[in-house]
Structure 1
Amino acid sequence: MAQAIEVSDLDIYYGDFLAVQGVSMAIRPRSVTAFIGPSGCGKSTFLRTLNRMHEVIPGAKVRGTVTIGGQDIYASAVDPVAVRRKIGMVFQRPNPFPTMSIYDNVLAGARLNSRRLSRSEADTIVERSLSGANLWNEVKDRLGKPGMGLSGGQQQRLCIARAIAVSPEVLLMDEPCSALDPISTSAIEDLIHELKKDYTIVIVTHNMQQAARVSDETGFFNLKAAGEPGHLVEFDATEQMFTKPSLPETEAYISGRFG
């Protein structure tokens, strides 16, 4: 089930360095939220705090709260691995496991997270996930072939299938189209529209036109100067953000005067 996300006064540190400061926002379930802003402003760092992926870097820590489905994911009793099972991640470059077939790529997370699957259970998960990623009809006759043999756009959809195979509540996407051609980008954007019926989706993008096309709400991140922490400047409905932003700083970025 898709879940709402509530972030309150979140500061993100790497050691003593404050990377992102004072972020608060509410993300609706079954919606697409896009984060935009210039390079280095902390939007990808913030995205990774939503499933505690930033913690793979030594010294990473947060202050503040992130509540997903009513649970504080940073509470002391919460296992970060359990958080990542519920909150899937799709990265900038497609990353299917190179030694695995298409079939085994889809099942990789499900096999890691659950009891031993019967063949019929595995078949059901593979078909459901590939269908959910709009890839089933393209690969159903070559499931035993290497996932790396697919095109770039197909590989990214395979990674999305792998993410949804474990039935997450939230999907995080960090610039999922930046390495793709325009046709593949269009396919991923169409897929995002379909997936939001079942998932809460949060996407980082450098492409403002993409944010305008796919998202319901948009958050604009920026930083005051090099070495300063990134911060959330404005968060609003995407149509409002791109037609009548509340702050001059947002309007300057969207109009291309900086960034």
Structure 2
Amino acid sequence: MAKVNIKELLDNGVHFGHLTRKWDPNMAPYIYTERNGVHIIDLYKTAAKIEETAEALQKIANSGRKILFVATKKQAKDIVAEKAKNINMPFITERWPGGMLTNFITIRKAVKKMSSIDRMKLDGSFDALSKREKLQINRQREKLEKNLGSITDMTRLPGALFIVDVKKEHIAVAEAQKLNIPIFAMVDTNSDPRPIDFVIPANDDASKSIDKVLSFITDAIAEGLAERKAGKEKAQPEAAEAPKAEAKTTEEAK
């Protein structure tokens, strides 16, 4: 796992917090100074927290659990969607569906509804419907795809959440807390870091800052996935060799 470069964080504006009058006092340990009425985040602490977070997420990815990325704010959603897709992880970037975690069974039913519509189109039964019925079903499918499209492969609760802007995604935070799902997040100076298990103090408003922090995180997750794949490939030949060795021992005994 690559070490975090402080200059890269600085160049991408990760250190810019919010106006001092909008701060959350619980973020005080992560604030370096104040400049022109704006809080400046301590990037040495940010770098240490990124490395700590990356290591933990790498282990979760290696274990085979999914990491759900959540970011519905305009400047973050496209970045998060792209980076999550690259590592084959689920993401929510449109709107957090209430009960996404606490009522996961209902969410799974909605995903199955999408699958049943897709099967109708494949087996030809969709063609037998009236024009009006087709229109209604297509609209329903589009709505489901927009809200749930990226989580169709998530058959169980995620092993962790990674959130950009915990203030905006407070419902996701509350649901994860209720179910004891670890929360990893970029936390700006206007937010309360206390509900978050792994805090990355960082500017969560600028796209360059979000992109830079997520690059470190997703690279670590990709490493965890690669290690898992390599471990599986190594285990397969060993498993195949075991019966051969057993057969040879039996033959020698005769």
Structure having the larger proportion of residues in helix: 2
What TM-score comes out, normalization by structure 1 length?
0.31
Structure number with greater Rg is 2
TM-score by length of 2: 0.31
